[in-house]
Structure 1
Amino acid sequence: MKILFIGSRLYDDIDWYVREKGIESVLTESNEEAINLDLPDQVFIVPRGMDGPKQVALMQNVDAIVPLIGIDPPLIDVAYMKEEVEREYGIPVIAANVRAVELTSNKINTKEFYREIGIATPEYQILTGPDELTIDFPVVLKQGEGQGGKDIKVARSVEDVEEYFEDFDQALCEEFIEGSEISIEVLGFSGEYVALPPIYKGETTIEGTHPLNKVKTGPCMVDGLDNNLVQHAAYTVARNLASDGIFEMDFMYSAERDQLYAIEVNTRPNGTRYLTTATCGVNSLCELVNMAIGEFSLANVSDKLEYHYSTEIPIGNYEGPLPNEPVKSFEFNDFVVHGPKGYQRVTARADSKDELKKLVEKIT
């Protein structure tokens, strides 16, 4: 079995699994100084875009293509490549299709999609100027495209909105929901979808604290919220997107209203994947490989499910004990260190809250 992987930044997360499965790995990357280029069996440096990876896939006669892209801008090019390669050459590409990317890569499209399928989302309006605002303060101002908190502002006054419009001509404005932030991964392939356990990402803040600066925990345990409700909502979204790969969704739960709100959905690997793996034993990136080799199914995922308590802590530069090899696998470790130097995080798991507390004290 030979698989082409596109993008090297996330490859070290699955290199151990690719080798365990006896897969011949081919990787394309546009940056010749990128990390992890020493890990695959073959590496090809190609220009940006999807034409280079497509040509390598055909030249190398690969059995499947697995894009490992964790940012939004290239996803639409990947989607067009997927549809062409699957149609013209019969090579499966484990990624979202064009429709799914178009619906999820623009927050305005996503809002309209939620409404169409009956999923609750915060009240919103599209502003072209501050004087059009009708939603009560505080409000959240966003651009249609962007990730990781980019171009997002919590506005508490007209002056805040006016300041935002000094940089932008349009804004997606939604009501600020005070409550719990929740993330969940859904895996989908060939019409089968499975929602993994939800992750708790902390409470909303007027200051707009970035998720990377919060302590996160799994599974999500929020008073008054049934995790089955989150999983059902996430499953409904994924089923209506009708595509393949990883779907990462953000929700907000308002205890005051007893209401779960859908915020956004991404069709790519996400920042809470380590917590999900730690919590339930299912690694979403490894499942992309399983989709490529024909080993993904609801039954197989269910058989892997475990139940742990987990937490992710921002630590800057990790100086604690080293994990076992392979260092990115929870099959061989009870903690994993990830992220670049200066912004590292530790994700740890245990079978009880007390054991997790002791482990965190030991490694931090």
Structure 2
Amino acid sequence: MKLLFIGSRLYDDLDWYVRSKGIESVLTESNEDAINLDLPDQVFIVPRGMDGPKQVALMQNVDAIVPLIGIDPPLIDVAHMKEEIESEYNIPVIASDVRAVELTSNKIRTKSFYEEIGVATPQYQILNNPNELKMDFPVVLKQGEGQGGKDIKVAHSIDDVEEYFEEFDQALCEKFVEGSEISIEVLGYGGEYVALPPIYKGETTLEGTHPLNKVKTGPCMVEGLDNNLVQHTAYKIAKNLDSDGIFEMDFMFSKETQQLYAIEVNTRPNGTRYLTTATCGINSLCELVNMAIGEFSLSKIYDNLEYHYSTEIPIGNYEGPSPKEPIKSFEDNDFVVHGPEGYQRVTARADSKEGLKQLVDKLT
């Protein structure tokens, strides 16, 4: 079995799994100085875009293509490439299709999608100038496209809104919800979907604290919130998107109304994947490989589900004990270190809350 992986930045997360399955790995990358280029069996440096990976896939006669792209802008090109290669060459591409990417890559379209399928989302309006605002403060101002907290502002007054419009001509204005931030991964392939355990990402803040600066925990344990509701809602969203790959969904649980609100969907590998793996033993990137080689199975996932307490802590530069090989796998480790130097994080797990506290004390 020969697989083409697109993008090297995330490849070290699953290189150990690819080798364990005896898969021949081919990788394309547009940056000749990128990390992890020493890991695959073959590497091809190609121009940006999907034409290069497509040509390599055909030249190498690969059995499937697994894009490892963790940012939003290239996803629509991947989706168009998927539809072309699957229809013309019958090579599976483990990624979302054009419809799913178009619905999820723009926050305004995503809002309309939620309303169409009957999923609750915070009150919102589209502003073309500050004078159109009809909502009470505080509100959250966003752009239709963007990720990782980019171009998001919590506005407390009309002056804040006017300041935002000094940079932008339009804004998605959303009611600020005080409550708990939740993330969940859904895996889908061939019309089958499974929602993994929800992850707690902290409380909303009027300062707009970036998620990377918060301590996160799994599984999600929020008073008044039923995790089954989160999983059911996430499953419903994925089922209606009707596509393949990883879906990472963000929710908010309001303390005031006890209501679960859907915020956004990402059709790509995401930042909470280490916590999900630590919590339940299911590695979403490895499941992409399983989809590519015909071994993705809901029954296998359910059989392999584990139950741990986990946490992810921003640590800057990690100086604690070294994890065992493979260092990005929880199969033989109770912690994984990830992220670039200066911004590293430790994700740790244990079978009890007390055991987790002791492990974190040892690591930090």
What is the TM-score when the length of structure 2 is the normalising length? 1.00
Corresponding position of 1:362 = 362
- By how many angstroms is 1:258 displaced? 1.0
Q: 1:296 aligned to 2:257?
A: no
Matching of residues 23-102 of structure 1 within 5 Å: 23-102=23-102
Other structure's SS at 1:331 match: coil
Q: Give the equivalent residue in structure 2 for 1:207.
A: 207
Letter in 1 for 2:324: N
Question: How far is 1:332 from its partner?
Answer: 1.1
Aligned length: 364
CA distance in structure 1 between the partners assigned to 2:303 and 2:2 by the alignment: 26
Match of 2:281 in 1: 281
What does residue 157 of structure 1 align with? 157
Aligned residue for 2:148?
148
C-alpha separation in 2, matches of 1:300 and 1:99: 29
Note the alpha carbon deviations across 1:223-245, whole angstroms, 9 max, x for none.
Answer: 00000000000000000000000
Residue number in structure 1 paired with 2:128? 128
| Offset of residue 204 of structure 1 | 0.1
Give the Cα–Cα distance (whole angstroms) in 2 for the partners of residues 228 and 166 of structure 1: 43
Query: What are the superposed Cα offsets for residues 137-195 of structure 1, whole Å, 9 maximum, x if unpaired?
Result: 00000000000000000000000000000000000000000000000000000000000
- What amino acid is the match of 2:225? L
Tell me, in whole angstroms, the C-alpha distance in 2 between the residues paired with 1:325 and 1:262. 38
Give distance in 1, aligned partners of 2:110 and 2:136.
22
Letter in 2 for 1:79: A
Letter in 2 for 1:201: K
In structure 1, what is the equivalent of residue 263 of structure 2?
Answer: 263
**Distance in structure 1 (CA, Å) of the matches to 2:346 and 2:83:** 37
Give the aligned residue type for 1:67: P
Kindly provide the amino acid, as one letter, of the partner of residue 239 in structure 1. Answer: K
Q: Give, in angstroms, the shift of residue 7 of structure 1.
A: 0.1
Q: Which amino acid aligns with 1:193?
A: Y
Q: Partner of 1:172 in structure 2? A: 172
What amino acid maps onto 1:361 in structure 2?
D
Q: Which residue of 2 aligns with 1:189?
A: 189
Deviations for 1:254-302, whole angstroms, at most 9, x for unmatched residues? 1220100000000000000000000000000000000000000110111
Residue number in structure 2 paired with 1:306: 306
Structure 1 residue 105 displacement after superposition: 0.2
Question: In the TM superposition, what is the alpha-carbon distance from 1:337 to its structure 2 partner?
Answer: 0.2
Instruction: Give the 3-state SS of the residue equivalent to 2:201 in structure 1.
Output: strand
Aligned mates of 2:299, 2:2 — CA distance in 1 = 25
CA apart distance, 1:4: 0.1
How far apart are residue 27 of structure 1 and its match?
0.1
CA distance in 2, matches of 1:333, 1:39: 21
Superposition deviation, residue 203 in structure 1: 0.2
CA–CA distance in structure 1, aligned partners of residues 342 and 362 of structure 2: 20
Task: Work out whether 1:119 is the aligned partner of 2:119.
Answer: yes
TM-score (norm 1): 1.00
SS at match of 2:54: helix
Counterparts of 2:18 and 2:302, CA distance in 1:
21
CA distance in 1, matches of 2:237, 2:36: 34
Q: What amino acid is the match of 1:126?
A: I
2:234 aligned residue? 234
Deviation at 1:212, TM superposition (A): 0.1
Give SS of 1:194's match. strand
Kindly indicate whether residue 128 of structure 2 is the aligned counterpart of residue 108 of structure 1: no
Cα distance in 2 for residues equivalent to 1:332 and 1:61: 34
In 1, Cα distance between equivalents of 2:5 and 2:85: 14
Say which SS state the counterpart of residue 181 (structure 2) adopts: strand
Map of 1:329 onto structure 2: 329
Return the letter of the residue paired with 2:313. Answer: I
Query: Structure 1: which amino acid aligns with 2:233?
Result: A
What's the secondary structure of 1:54's corresponding residue? helix
4+ aligned runs moved over 4 Å, structure 1: none
Let me know the Cα RMSD of the aligned residues: 0.3
**Pairs within 5 Å for 1:9-20:** 9-20=9-20
The answer to whether residue 254 in structure 2 is matched with residue 254 in structure 1 is: yes
1:221 paired to 2:234: no
> Which residue identity does 2:301 align to in structure 1?
V
